A = this chain, B = another copy of it.
Amino acid sequence: MKNEQQIQPECGCETVHEEIVSQVQGKLLSKETYIDLATLFKLFGDATRIQLLHALEQHEMCVCDLAALLGVTKSAISHQLKSLRIARLVKYRRDGQNVFYSLADDHVQKILDLGYEHLSE
């Protein structure tokens, strides 16, 4: 899905490198795609959620376990899990009164690994 935006001459610049800019513009994605990507990565932009995801990378756990592990309330955990669920980053199964959460696929682990790799350089 390509982008239909036009180059904005209102930037106040005189020497825009037009060839490169229009060449790059042809390769950009739609604004919605960037918003979707940002919405996804926003979920990785909070230390509590990162820790939550890293914990679930080790083992599935219920809300209570996660609250105890991270030292925050069940409510806070539940709110965060809801966001992660909507983004299909975690999945859950109910077992009696407990709801066990786990990672939905291996993208989370790959993304976390890349981030850690970047920090380690």
Binding site for B on A (CB under 8 A): 5, 7-13, 15-17, 20-21, 23-25, 27-29, 31, 33-51, 54-55, 58-59, 61-62, 64-65, 67-74, 88-89, 97-98, 105, 107, 110-112, 114-119, 121
Q: Is the beta-carbon distance between B61 and A24 smaller than 8 angstroms? A: yes
A84 to B72, CA, bound (A): 31
Copies held by the complex: 2
Q: Which residues of B contact A73 (CB under 8 A)?
A: 11-12
Q: Are B38 and A46 interface neighbours, CB within 8 A?
A: yes
B7 touches A31 (CB 8 A): no
When the two chains form the complex, which single residue of B9, B62, B114 contacts A68, counting CB atoms closer than 8 Å? Answer: B9
Chain B residues positioned under 8 Å from A39 (CB to CB): 45
